[in-house]
Amino acid sequence: MSTLNLGFLASHGGSSMRAIVAAIASGELDGRARIVIGNNGDAPALQFAKQQAIPFRHISARTAGSEQAADTAIARALKDGGAEWVVMSGYLRKLGPATLEAYRGRIINIHPALLPKFGGQGMYGRNVHEAVIAAGETVSGATIHFVDEEYDHGAIIAQREVPVLPGDTVDDLQQRITQAEPAFFVEVLKSLAKS
C-alpha cells in the first residue's frame, strides 16, 4: 500500500477535493494533499487550500500569458509540489500536452453521468443532468476515469449508479449525484493506493 501524493486541479468549490482532504485528515485515506491549482483566482477551492495550509497556485492563460505557458506552469507546479497523482475536482479546462504527458495514466476525473453516455465538450454541471432527463434515462450516476486528450474519454476506472426517479428535476438529479460523488472518489483512491 503506497501513500498517494495528490495534486488537485479545481475551477470552483472543489467538493471532491474537500472530501479527499478530510479522508486524509481522518486517516481513512493514506495520502497527502501536495498542491491545489486553480484557473480561477477567486475559486473557493483555493481559499480552502489556504485555510488547510495546503500549497496553492492560481495558474491560467491570463496569469501565464498563453494556454501553452499555463500548461507548462501547471505541469511544473505539480512536479515541484511533489504530486504523483492529479485529481480533477470540477476543473473546467482541457489539460494541455505538457501536463498530460507528465502525468499520463495518473490524472483522474469524476464525471456526473455514466460514461460513455452524456460526455464530451459542454457536458458538465446542469447540462449533463438536463440531457439525462431529456433522454428518459432511469439510471445515471458518476464515472471516475483517467484523463486523456479528449473530454470525458479516458479509460473508466469505476462507476457508481444513481437512480433517476419519476418526476426528477435537473436540480433533484444533480443534488443526488453530487451527494454520491465525494465518498465514491475516496473509495476509488483507496483502491488505487492498494494496487
Q: Please report the pLDDT score of residue 1 as a whole number.
A: 62
pTM for the predicted model, two decimal places: 0.93
Enumerate domains of the chain plus CATH numbers: 4-110+144-159+181-194 (3.40.50.170)
Q: Please determine, for residue 142, whether its predicted confidence score (pLDDT) is greater than 80.
A: yes
- Answer whether 95's CB lies under 8 Å from 41's CB: no
For residue 192, what is its C-alpha cell?
Answer: 488505487
Q: Which residues does the annotation mark as catalytic?
A: 111
Higher pLDDT, 92 or 140: 140
Q: How far is the C-alpha of 76 from the C-alpha of 68, rounded, in Å?
A: 12
The answer to whether 41 touches 55, Cβ cutoff 8 Å, is: no
Give per-residue pLDDT as tens, 5-49. 999 999 999 999 999 999 999 999 999 999 999 999 999 999 999
The CA distance from 157 to 19, in Å, is: 19
User: At how many degrees (to 10) do helices 170-194 and 15-26 cross?
Assistant: 40
